[in-house]
Structures are given as C-alpha cells and as structure tokens.
Structure 1
C-alpha cells in the first residue's frame, strides 16, 4: 500500500476518492462500467439503466494520435496504481473545475445512479474511457471506466484504480476519447500486499535528466529492464533553459519558455517544460513500460531552493506564487498518490512524503527535502554553499533538511523505527554521507549543511537498533557506494549503521563535464557544482593549478577541440577524484564521468546494487550500456561487498 499522507493507516479507497474529487486531486472520478471483481459500486451501476445505456468509446484512429505526452502509471499498490495521460486540446477540451456537479461526490459511493449532468458530460466527450486488461490486445478488458479530462489542470487525466485489481500481476491500460482517439498502451505491475512473504523485488532508480544536455538513451535501456517499478529521485525537469551563449544544447533539444526568460517563472513556463520533456520518445517509452514512484528535488522549482519558497540564485526574497505554480504543475504531470489544494499556501498545498510497501521485504520511504528545509547555514553565496570551510550553524539540530514545523522528521523517524519490513529503503534527494576536498566541505546544499540533523537521525537508528537501511540518492550526478556512520572520522567500517547508494545522472553534467568546461566557452546549467567552484578548487591545489596552466598553454598553441578524452584533461580529472577518495574513506566506490541508472534487487538474504553506464548521451542512437559497479549488502549487516568495479 501507499501512505497517502502522514498516517500510514489510510482511509478506505472510496472515501479517499471523495476527498480527491472535492479538491480536484489525484483520484479523479472513476466511473466503473465493468469490473470482474465483486464491488459494491459496480453492483450498484449494474442495476441502473441510465448507466448501461452509455456504450463504451471505440478506437477509430492510430494509437498515440491526440496523446502527445503518451501515458504514465505511478505509485503502484497491491491492487492498483495511479494512471495518467494528457489529451491534446485540439482533440477535446476537458471540464473546468466549476463544471463538476457536486452530486458526483455522493454518487461515487454507489448509493445513487449517475446524475444526468455526468451522463451528459460523458456523451459530450469531456470524459475519456479507461480500459485495463491482462493482454495488450484488450480483447477482454477486466476493468473499464470513464474519468474526466481536467481543463484547468492542463488537460490531464489522473485516476486511481487502487483497490480494483488482484496483486502481483501485469496489466495493460489505455485511454479512448469520444472521437475514437486512443492512447499508446501502457503497462504496470501490482505489488505483493504489505506483510506477505516475498522472495524478491527488483526496482530501478534515476535522477537528474536535463533535456538540453543530451538525449535519453539511459531511459531507453531502462525501459527494457524487467522491474517492479522505477523510482525517480528528482530533477525530472530543469527550470533553466539558458541561452546559447552560455550553454551548448543540442540543436533539437533547445527549449524556449513562453515568458521568454532563461528560467521558468510562470505556470505556462513550467507546463511547457513538462510537455516538452514528455514528448521525448525514450522518456515516453519508460513511462509506458514501468510505473514510476516520484519525488522532487530543487529544479522542479529552482536551484538550491529552500523554505519559504526562496530561489537563492534568482532572488533571496520569498516567491510563494512561483513555488505554488511549480507545486501545481508537478502535481499535474506526476502520477503520484498525493493531494493538491490550490486554496492552501505553498507549503501546505501539496505533501509528497509517503511510503510504499512491498510484501514483508521492503518499505520504500520517500522524503521531501526542498519544500520545508532551512536556508543555507553559512550563507547563500556560491562559496558559502560550496567548497567552504563551513560554520558552527551546520551542527545545530534546528538547521533542518526535513523542516522544523512540517512534521516530516517525526514521521520519517517513526517509519524507520517501526517498519516491519526487512529492508528500509530511503529515497533521499541529496548526498547523506559527508563529502570533503582539500579540507573543505564540497556541498552544504546537501546533508553536510545539516550535520546536526543528520547526526540525530543516525543516533536514532542506533538507539532503536534499526537494521537493513539503504539510502538511495541522486543530485550529485555521480555514482557512489558509501557507508553511513555516527562518527565518520573515527568509527571503523564495522560500526556502520547503513549504506548509501548514489545514482549518476541521466544527462545532467557530471564532474568530468564540469572540469572540461574550465577550458571551453560554454557551460551547462545542470552542473553538479557551480563552475566557479571547480575553478576555485584547481587554484587552491598547486598540482592541479599547474595542470590547468599546462592545458591552457596547449590550447593556446592551437588545439581546435578540447574534449574530456584529452590526456591532460583526463589526468587533471583523475587527480581530483583521487583526492576525493583519499579524504572520504567511507566512500567505497566513486565515478563521476558517465551517465546511467541503478537497480536494487532485494531478497531475504541480501540486497544487490547494480549500476549501469551509457556511453554517449550526445548521440541519438548507437550508444552502449555497460556494467559499472555491482555490490552486495548482506542481511543485518551495514557492509558493502564489492562484486564489480
């Protein structure tokens, strides 16, 4: 099951749908026509002649026409998932919020027949037909239903079929309009019910997919994997579109937002980003093949953002309107079992932290590390946040990543300490373990800037004897395998309390890309660290400073192309990475020169982590996937057994 909000004991599904409809939220009305299971709503419908008089819509056009963003499934449970699509408004315009008949709320309980206004709306085409089947030919649908197109929410359709399907099965789904336009076919798996015995589960996770930085071959390979679901750790979009004078986007990957700004600020700006990203064929294919469980990081709003709705690179003043817009559009395009209320202020309109339970084997705990977090402890300047000596404020437990007054920290610790699942998997946006270089903190936007709260979490784990904790992390565009310790300087590896496995980016620039940018005219707005920071690092270290000087002299002699494969540049990069490994011994594996995805396979005996890299994101085709790292974590031991590096 999925926790809908903070309480793990959620309301019954039909009551949740009433709440969703009142607020125009995730579980918009599912009007059941046929359901092979015993269901009081379906039984009520079967007795009503007005309902049976509505014939199902029939496909009349090639699949995909009229559905430019295809389909998506999210937040799977043992009995369903959230299903999503978007209808091209030129095909059919949906319902406005003011057009929804309040009598529909009562009708969803199955106590009364459908009101005439709903029957009329279906006949007028402002609803679409959803079909779910056990096979992709849909010859024998096991569930059919009509659900609204929401005009006010950018023509999206979102429906929750939780509670309607048998567990541990593969299902196919599609949407059909009154005009006969039919969506591409999607598929998803239902999970094993919470608490039931389970021999294994296998899921992947990704993060950081800047559209302009490259193509998405990573997602194409991921779509081919045999998985239960995919976790997205954030930076699904980048609010920065930049200008060609600063960036080096591929010719067919440039994005212009309606405001004309270099970043998204308006609702149409953010919608344009999601619409554009979701037309990518590899991302479409990933969503069609696997359900996705999503959280956000900063770029769904703005870089390095914090409470109260501050985007420090743009303005240190709060911008609640922009934050609320970002919340709303994330909600519109993300198939997540969360609620959105536009009448509430930005910090209360949307709550994305939740859990997903898979048998007795796994509880996936997803946190929000942007909406409620404190400001940067040592200042908002670039060199206050990055490559800094730090300050005492980072050790204050009230310097909070999870939020002082949000209730999230208490909820999170409760889930960790009371979970009955064998493996506790924490979906964590930013690096949890420390990262130092040349005696300075590399990134106080990550957990190093919230060291007091980090220590409190680790001590709670130790006090409550929590075992089998694995943190899955994104953000740094780097692959890492690290041990979590109470005292990272003094504690031996055998005293570790958990493991952190970080995934590299889908396309966003890594450290090798960043080092290359020192010597080129262009720079990426999806860098893991500001270019100013890497330049500062190479000035502080004498050996690296000499290497930079040598490369610049070579370039001055007439090198026409300086790429990341140049021997001098590779030597500079390797020197930098060697220093990182030396100063951070808890990091057992580190690679920031490639892109890819990770898979975590859990069994009662062990967890197996596998990282894959993809050769070239600047090519549409002809890329190669290779095994990068593979590790095992034995049951009840915070230990990393390296199988491949």
Structure 2
C-alpha cells in the first residue's frame, strides 16, 4: 500500500502547481531534481518542476569531505523504497530557516511563474542543502537529488525522507552539500524487500546502552563491519547523567561538561550537547555511515527510571513536563526515524515512537515505547522498593501498565499488530526484560516487566490464545546477555509449552554487574550501573558464598595484595555465585552473562533464527578485540533454545 503522503501528492499535483517543499515536521523535506528510477510518481514530479529547477543552482563540493559536518550523517527507518536521511551542519556555515517562516504542517507550493518565491530565495541564499542519492559511492550514478532545508530552530539538523522514490532491496549512498561547497561524509543504507515478497534470509545487529563516559565504542566499530540489512538500537543512546568526573572511570577524553553546569541534563542545550558529543565518536559515526539504524528510546534519553507523567524519580517525584518535552524534541532532532514531533502539544502527545515495519514475508518488527506512558513502580520509589525488591500485590494488578493502558492505545495496537501479522517471524523490539528474574527470592528489579506482571500476563495469554508462532523478543537495558523462554505460567508450564523466546543484548559500554560489584571497592561511581550499589551489597550479603568471597576480596584490598587481574578474578567469582543462583531460581533463563560488553546478531531464515552474541575484550582502551560469547538457534514454529555455543 502506498504511503498516504504519496497518495495525497498524486491527488493534488497538477502542471500549474508544483510540490516544492515538505517540512521536517511532516516527515519529508525534498525537492526532486532528477531521477533515473522510472517511477511514474517521480516522472510527474520531474516534469512539473523542470521549469523551476532549471533556474536553481547545483551545489558542488569545494571543501574537504566532512568539514562542517561534525556529527557526520545517518540514516534510519528504511522501507522498500527509501529511508530517512540525516545530518547536522555547523551553524556558522548557514543560517537555515525557521518553522515559524514555513508552515510545518502544510506542503509549500511554488506556483508557475514565481521563481523568486521565498523558498526559491532561501535556496539561493544557502539556507538549504543539496542531497544526492546514488547507486555508487563515487556518485557517478546519481538517482535522486534535491534541496532540503536546514532547520535552525531544530539545532541546524537536516532530515529528509526518500520513501517512495527508490527501488527495493538495493544499496544506496548519500551525501549533503552546502551552497558554499561543504560536503558531508558519505552514508550508505539498504532498502528493504517489499512487504509480502519472498525473502530467504535477513541479517541484522542490535545494541543497547552506550554510556559515553564509561568507555570506548569498539563494539559499534565491529557492528559497522558486519554485513547486515540494518541495525536496531534498543535505547539508552545517550545518558542524561554525566556524573562527577571525580567519581568516574579515568577516561579524560570521555568526560562531558554540560552547559547548565550540572551533572545531569535539564535544558535543551544540555540535551543537545549530549547528542552532539556522542555523535562525535568516530566508531558511532562509522556505524551510522554504513548502516541504517532503527531506534527506540529507553529511560536515559530523558531520565533514569522515568515514568508517566514525566517523572524523573532520581531528581523529583513531581512531574516535569517541560524537561520531558525538551528530551522528546532533542531525540527527534537527532534520530533518523519516521516519527513526527508536535512542539505545540503536551509531552505525551508531542511524539509517538511506537511503530512497526515488515521485511518481505520473512519478518515484522514491532517497536514499543515503555517509558512515556508507563505507570509508576508498583511498590515505591526507594532503591530497595525497585531493586532486589521483595515485591508487592500491585505488581500483579492488570491495571499496572508498562505500555500505558488508559493513557495510550499502545497495548491494543501492539497485540493487534502481532496477532494480525502475516510475516513468519514476529520480532518485538522491547526495552526492558520481559521474562521474570529473581535472585534469592527477591526481584532483581521492578523497573522491568516484573513490576508490571499483570499486564505481562495479559500479553502472554493473548498471544497464546491467538496461537502466535515464531515470536521473538529482543531486549536491552539490563547490561547483560540472556536467552530465555517466554511462558504463560512460569511456575507450571514445561519448556515445551513456551510461547516465544527472549534474547537480551549486553551493553555497548554501560556498567555491567561485575563492574558494579567492583565499585564496592572504590570511590568510582558510574551513572549507568544496572542496579544501585546498595542493592548489590544487599544481594551479596544474602548469599553466604558470595559474601564470603566479598570479604576475602576486601581483606586482600586492605593488605594491598591484589593485582588488577587478581581483583577481576575475585569479582567474577562473586558474580559466578550470583549467576548460579539465577539459573536455579529462573530455569527459563538458559544463558546469562553480565561481565562483558558487546552486541548481538540475528539471522532469520525460512526454517530457523540464529542468535549470536559477541563481546569486546576491553572498553577502557579504544582498540579492543572481538570474541564469540553465545550462539543458539530457534527452529521455525518451535519456541526452543538450541544452544550451539555457551
């Protein structure tokens, strides 16, 4: 089915009126200048604007590649006929235009015989960039070219949607050029196979949790080198907390100073500084240059453990709608997603990031938002009410919602999308752990679906009743790798009755459990710890063997008889005791590791899904090595985890 925006353009376009500009807020900003694709819609656009474009200049590269484009380029949300293309140009190089000058909700028209319109003039003044899309990386075969505005009130970013203008299943290259001749880095992306088309295999990578201050992005460098159709980012792309450098790891080149002077982002310039800084990383830039990235957020794009209505519980239990609206806007500015932002609406209605996309007949991906609408934590907001928690009856209340029942229509949309999907594999891109997770009789964290167990029960019951097959959940957030069976009744259902599989990815750099344990012996504190130090201490003390190893380690530390490698060995022994308990109490968790960092790969075929977890050797130096951690496969029509490597 055609995108409704394309249909509307075809309906209203005629030789006397030419579609000249759609805004970033409408999801597109493109004046078509040339196309060799043979698309009927394209031919009509070419014909109708030819008189005008003859009078427009072509921008040509004059400066070194990348000069003026400090955040490089990015693409996202690919379709069978395009993708969102993104860049940001240095504000000193162009003034750009404002959405107050150009109605962000309407198509702008350039009528015949008006070559000196405000839009035409803005292009002549260099307030637009030219975008080229090519089938070759040297741009010798340009298939699409046009002008797209620089939005000065959106931090001088450029976002253009080429959906509807390219061919399915092809690799394309793109670049941006200013009137003065500044040319961006070259980006690359693949269009998808059309919905319903037969597809034998699909490969994608997925990542989560990349605290810039906690380490280097070697994992992202390895993702960039993978041959994949696209990459999925499951959230915590940035961390609102930069912490106090005195209490962070000794990486002076990874420290961030926010304009507001605080250790957390509150203002729009604070949040923009985070994204600009993260996007300056060469490994992250390489990833975005080589692959389209499909993104959702988790909590740290706004604030730790956030919930509705715009509460940042670490800072205040009062709603902060202005800060939430700012976080929404800046995520929108820097994320190449086919998502609209409405600055005139309240924080809840200003943006909707939950969405889905299908790749041929092989897979449908369902992305949910588990922060903007979720209810507060069920048992309270103190550390031990959430982490290593005893629990409370409200957890099991069906009205206790992660997806925002009563606040949004997300749960109904989510279930309907999965149940009606005609794709073989249904992949849920889910921010926080779905399967239960207990240690020593307590819940590891109620910030995950354990805190919303009543709604979890509704979801699993509905999927089982609908006999949904080949349901896979990919998850981030916990800074751990895990492969788990999804069940309706975890206490009584045998493994053969599982309804799906959850596959969790470890963090790119954010502190894992073994690093958090290590912080018990130092004054170092990372704002990206998976659970607070207080909860870690409580958990260890409840395990006699782990407590014994902790005390031994402290004794050696006091006597200064531990080398760095020996300390790591002691820390892993403490964690091993905890992992042993995890496997006993959570038999549906078949693989688990929270002592390393990296990414996951997934290959889908018509007969099975193969999951591979990779780790990096070190995040404290920029030149880490990669190694295989886990690998398993899930046969078609069977919710089984067949372990190939553990």
TM-score after normalising by structure 2? 0.95
Distance in 1 (alpha carbons) for counterparts of 2:642 and 2:60: 54
Query: In the alignment, what sits opposite 2:283?
Result: 282
Shift of 1:50: 2.9
1:243 aligns with 2:236: no
The CA deviation at 1:35 is 1.2
Following TM superposition, by how much is the alpha carbon of 1:555 offset from its aligned partner in structure 2, in angstroms? 1.1
| Superposition CA RMSD, Å | 2.1
Whether the aligned pair in 1 keeps the contact of 2:173 and 2:189 (CA below 8 Å) is yes
SS of residue matched to 2:269: helix
Matched, 1:550 2:543: no
Measure the CA separation in 1 of the matches of 2:556 and 2:179. 65
Shift of 1:111: 8.8
Aligned equivalent of 1:6: none
2:611 to 609, 612, 615: 609
Retained in 2: the 8 A contact 1:26–1:336? no
**Secondary structure at 1:480 match in 2:** strand
1:13 aligns with 2:6: yes
Cα offsets for 1:300-343 (capped at 9, x unmatched): 00000000000111100000000000000000000000100000
Matched with 1:4 is: none
**Partner of 1:452 in structure 2?**
454
- Aligned to 1:356, the other structure's residue is in SS state strand
Q: Which residue of 2 aligns with 1:515?
A: 517
Distance 1:500 1:112 in 2: 59
Structure-2 separation of matches of 1:564 and 1:351: 48
- Per the alignment, do residues 637 and 115 of structure 1 end up closer, same or farther by CA in structure 2, a change over 3 Å counting? farther
Partner residue, 1:33: 33
3-state SS of the aligned residue for 1:245? helix
Aligned match of 1:590: 592
Distance 2:21 2:445 in 1: 42
Aligned to 2:234: 233
Q: Give TM-score, length-normalised by structure 1.
A: 0.95
- Residue aligned with 2:477, SS: coil
Q: CA deviation at 1:538?
A: 1.4
| Corresponding residue number in structure 2 for 1:411 | 413
1:578 to 577, 580, 585: 580
C-alpha deviation, 1:118, in angstroms: 1.2
In the TM superposition, 1:132-147 aligns within 5 A as 132-147=133-148
Are 2:385 and 2:391, in contact at CA under 8 Å, matched by a contact in 1?
yes
The aligned counterpart of 1:308 is: 309
| CA 1:613–1:567: 2 relative to 1, 3 Å | closer
The residue matched to 2:78 in structure 1 has which SS? Answer: coil
Measure, in 2, the Cα distance between the counterparts of 1:359 and 1:175: 30
SS at match of 1:483: strand
Report the equivalent of 2:109.
Answer: 107
SS at match of 2:345: coil
- Conservation of the 8 A alpha-carbon contact between 2:20 and 2:31: no
Deviation at 1:27, TM superposition (A): 2.2
Q: Are the counterparts in 1 of residues 130 and 177 from structure 2 also a CA contact under 8 Å?
A: yes
In the superposition, relative to structure 1, how do residues 194 and 40 fare at CA in structure 2: closer, same or farther (>3 Å)?
Answer: closer
In the aligned structure 2, how far is the partner of 1:293 from the partner of 1:588?
28
Residue 567 of structure 1, CA deviation: 3.4
- In structure 2, what is the equivalent of residue 492 of structure 1? 494
Corresponding residue SS for 2:557: helix
* Equivalence for 1:62: 64
Distance (whole Å) between structure 2 residues aligned to residue 497 and residue 112 of structure 1: 63
| Deviation (angstroms), 1:51 | 2.0
1:49 corresponding residue in structure 2: 51
Q: How many Å apart are 1:115 and its aligned residue?
A: 6.2
Report 1:115-130 matches (<5 A): 116-130=117-131
**Structure 2 unaligned runs (5+)?**
13-18
8 Å CA contact retained: 2:21, 2:108? no
Query: Distance between the aligned counterparts of 2:188 and 2:524, measured in 1?
Result: 40
Q: Which moves more between the two structures, 15-24 or 224-233? A: 15-24
CA distance, structure 1, for counterparts of residue 487 and residue 250 of structure 2: 40
Name the CA shift for 1:640/1:310 in 2 (closer, same or farther; >3 Å).
same
Segment drifting more, 631-640 vs 112-121: 112-121
Cα separation, partners in 2 of 1:28 and 1:567, compared to 1, 3 Å: closer
1:103–1:115 Cα contact (<8 Å) kept: no
Q: Give the structure 1 partner of residue 378 of structure 2.
A: 377
Q: 1:39 to 1:88 in 2, by over 3 A?
A: farther
Q: Which residue of 2 aligns with 1:173?
A: 174
Aligned to 2:298: 297
Find the counterpart in structure 2 of residue 398 from structure 1.
399
How far, CA to CA, are the matches of 2:114 and 2:35 in structure 1? 17
Residue by residue over 1:370-391, the C-alpha shift from the partner in whole angstroms, topping out at 9 and shown as x without a partner, is 0000000000111000111100
CA separation in 1, counterparts of 2:203 and 2:104?
42
**Change over 3 Å in CA distance of 1:107–1:20 after alignment to 2:** closer
C-alpha contact 1:503 1:598 (8 A) present in aligned 2 = yes
Runs of at least 5 residues in structure 1 that lack an aligned partner in the other structure: 2-8
1:252 partnered with 2:245: no
In the alignment, structure 1 residue 425 sits paired with structure 2 residue 427: yes
Deviation of 1:615 (Å): 0.5
Secondary structure in 2 aligned to 1:81? strand
> Could you tell me whether the CA contact under 8 Å between 2:23 and 2:105 is conserved in 1?
no
Q: Contact conserved, 2:608 with 2:636, CA < 8 A, in 1?
A: yes
Rounded Cα–Cα distance in structure 1 between residues aligned with 2:134 and 2:292: 16
Q: Write the distance in 1 (CA, Å) between the matches of 2:59 and 2:106.
A: 21
The Cα shift of 1:13 comes to 3.0
What is the distance in 2 between the residues matched to 1:627 and 1:261? 40
C-alpha change, 1:610 and 1:26, in structure 2 (3 Å) is farther
Does the C-alpha gap of structure 1 residues 350 and 160 become closer, same or farther in structure 2, counting only changes over 3 Å? same
Q: In the TM superposition, what is the alpha-carbon distance from 1:91 to its structure 2 partner?
A: 1.4
Whether contact under 8 Å (2:307, 2:371) holds in the other structure is: yes
**Structure 1 pair 129–489 and aligned structure 2 pair: CA distance change class (3 A):** same
- Secondary structure of 1:107's partner? strand
Deviations 1:539-591 (A, max 9, x none): 22222222222211111112475567543333212111111111111000001
* Residues 553 and 123 of structure 1: CA distance in aligned 2, closer, same or farther (over 3 Å): same
> After superposition, what is the alpha-carbon deviation per residue over 1:13-64, rounded to whole angstroms, capped at 9, x for unaligned?
3649999978741624200100123344653554542321212100001110
1:627 offset after TM fit, Å?
0.9
1:619 matched to 2:625: no
